[in-house]
């Protein structure tokens, strides 16, 4: 009888510990990452830039999803395409509350995971292929450059602009106007968003190397991370 009681108590105690251990683990969280807007303070081409952009999410170093901009935007008063002059430009069009059409879901991630957000924006007269966008994202992700909470990797990436776009059809004033690799620990994001807030990373990107006849581009870019 005593042995049976001891077995019961031991089993119940182990089960209780297991329950407490499992219940202490945070539930995996899914996020949506959006390239929300860009403010052009100066263009790379003399009059206007022809903008192309992509956004890629990596989880623990593995590509989790990529979104290539479809060329539809909104400048606050009218729908526009890829040809941008100075001013604010929102990725996406109304009336859907200007929700960005350049977004990627992380899928459900654990606190122990690491999230890398990679984006690239360029002025290009010829439309890049999806393979071009993927190769650029891969080179940025594999570089030693990294930004994150309150910081940007651009100063490290800008001198590497030519190698990032290696194999692309580049002419005249074509080239990167903004690119970044933002790195976040999943636990960091969970704590920042657990009461419904979003995480916004806003940085300024000053000209990468360009021929003398081109302008010195300056772009301000906003990335938003929110729970799904």
Residue 30 backbone dihedrals phi, psi, to 5 degrees: -105, 140
Q: Does residue 150 lie in a domain region? A: yes
More confident residue, 223 or 213: 223
pLDDT of residue 78: 87
Which of 26-40, 87-101, 163-177, 196-210 is predicted with the least confidence, judged by mean pLDDT? 87-101
pLDDT exceeds 80 at position 33: yes
pLDDT exceeds 50 at position 169: yes
pLDDT exceeds 50 at position 188: yes
**Beta bridge partners of residue 216, listed in sequence order:** none
pLDDT exceeds 50 at position 171: yes
The answer to whether 32 and 103 are in contact (CB under 8 A) is yes
Q: Does residue 18 lie in a domain region? A: no
The answer to whether 140 and 208 are in contact (CB under 8 A) is no
pLDDT of residue 212: 83
Q: Does residue 212 lie in a domain region? A: yes
Mean pLDDT (the chain, rounded)? 88
- Cα-based torsion angle of the residue sequence 96, 100, 106, 108 in order, rounded to the nearest 10 degrees: -20
**Inter-CA distances, 94 with 86, 177, 197, 223, Å:** 20, 25, 23, 19
Which residues are within 8 A (CB) of 115 and not within 5 positions of it... i.e. 6 or more apart? 31, 57, 58, 59, 106, 109, 183, 184, 185, 186, 189
pTM score of the predicted model: 0.86
The answer to whether 57 and 115 are in contact (CB under 8 A) is yes
Q: Does residue 21 lie in a domain region? A: no
The 10s digit of each residue's pLDDT in 124-168 is 999 999 999 999 999 999 999 999 876 899 999 999 999 999 988
Region 191-220 average pLDDT: 91
Tallying the residues shown for the chain, one arrives at: 228
Positive or negative torsion for Cα 120, 125, 131, 136? negative
Q: Does residue 23 lie in a domain region? A: no
The 10s digit of each residue's pLDDT in 68-91 is 999 999 988 889 999 999 999 999
pLDDT exceeds 60 at position 202: yes
**Count of domains in the chain?**
1
3-class secondary structure, 226 = strand
Q: What is the β-pairing status of strands 83-84 and 49-59? A: antiparallel
Q: Does residue 2 lie in a domain region? A: no
Q: Residue 89's domain spans which residues?
A: 28-227
Q: Does residue 192 lie in a domain region? A: yes
Q: Does residue 172 lie in a domain region? A: yes
């Amino acid at each position: 009888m005593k042995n049976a009681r001891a077995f019961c108590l031991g089993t119940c105690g182990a089960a209780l510990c297991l329950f407490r251990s499992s219940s202490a683990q945070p539930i995996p969280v899914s996020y949506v990452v959006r390239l929300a807007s860009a403010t052009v303070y100066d263009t790379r081409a003399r009059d206007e830039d022809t903008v192309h952009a992509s956004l890629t999410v990596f989880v623990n170093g593995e590509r989790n999803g990529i979104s290539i901009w479809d060329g539809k935007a909104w400048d606050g008063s009218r729908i526009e395409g890829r040809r941008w002059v100075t001013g604010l430009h929102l990725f996406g069009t109304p009336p859907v509350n200007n929700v960005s059409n350049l977004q990627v879901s992380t899928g459900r991630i654990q606190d122990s995971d690491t999230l890398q957000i990679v984006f690239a924006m360029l002025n290009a007269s010829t439309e890049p292929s999806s393979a071009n966008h993927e190769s650029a994202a891969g080179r940025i992700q594999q570089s030693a450059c990294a930004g994150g909470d309150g910081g940007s990797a651009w100063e490290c990436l800008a001198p590497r602009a030519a190698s990032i776009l290696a194999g692309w059809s580049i002419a005249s004033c074509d080239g990167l106007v903004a690119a970044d690799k933002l790195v976040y620990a999943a636990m960091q994001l969970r704590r920042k968003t657990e009461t419904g807030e979003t995480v916004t990373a806003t940085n300024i990107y000053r000209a990468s190397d360009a021929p003398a006849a081109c302008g010195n581009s300056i772009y301000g870019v906003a990335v938003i991370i929110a729970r799904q």
